[in-house]
Structure 1
């Protein structure tokens, strides 16, 4: 038996104001779209803003459904929209923000497992990392240089 160790490197900003100006702009877009999310069941709102290599910004928010598995997370709404409308255009950066209507959310909130797998598919296909910035409603912001930092043992088409 052999033990392996997996290491991820992330950057943590103390606040939104500490972010570079271009990332503040992208994160602000995630705030704006987050507040339009359809989340009557969880009251947990998520916004995603993606910057594409061609300069386009694609937005998405979570869309819930009374039949819970039929809803979709903000990250997948945005990334699938980008894939459908801008095929082959790499995603450069992604800004994610989350907000609870039940309590103040100050903990940086990363993508769920299903979203990580979906983002991985795009990052692997484009052969370029996607910088991911994520935060709660306020507080610290975490930056990952690549989805691979958040999902180090990626399942990809090489297994198929």
Structure 2
């Protein structure tokens, strides 16, 4: 069962929007930025970084999550705001890819993690990770 989460969604979205210019997407031209809130209250950002050897690139969400975990491996993911679009022009909702959904799953309860896909601070969709990744496999299965 999901618990209520109180945080400033608009501020988290704006943080993601503020960083989209940092994306490095010379091949796809699709820029993505993510801002995530961790249980310790800190906010981390990440952008997609492409590479000529395509698998060597990284999505914005994983970029932010890995940075956050490097700072505090015990913090849990509370929420992530994601924005993206061609050349950084945000015109539609940007959902996380399957790999990013699985990485998010590692760092919190999927029923509690909020995923915000935004066009702007006023126009966004919010879902739980559980809704985006039903019947998921997580670390508790390996204990």
Matched length: 137
Question: How far apart are residue 129 of structure 1 and its match?
Answer: 1.6
| 2:114 is aligned with 1:131 | yes
Question: How far apart are residue 32 of structure 1 and its match?
Answer: 1.4
SS for the counterpart of 1:107 is coil
Match of 2:15 in 1: 29
Given the superposition, is the C-alpha separation of residues 108 and 121 from structure 1 closer, same or farther in structure 2, using an over 3 Å criterion? same
23-32 vs 61-70, which moves further: 23-32
**Distance in 1 separating the partners of 2:104 and 2:76:** 12
Given the superposition, is the C-alpha separation of residues 74 and 28 from structure 1 closer, same or farther in structure 2, using an over 3 Å criterion? same
The answer for unaligned runs of 5 or more in structure 2 is 1-5
| 2:71 is aligned with 1:85 | yes
What is the Cα-based RMSD across aligned positions, in Å? 2.5
**TM-score (structure 2 length as normaliser):** 0.84
**Distance in 1 separating the partners of 2:64 and 2:74:** 15
**Distance in 1 separating the partners of 2:24 and 2:100:** 18
Question: How far apart are residue 105 of structure 1 and its match?
Answer: 4.8
State the structure with more CA Rg: 1
Question: How far apart are residue 136 of structure 1 and its match?
Answer: 4.1
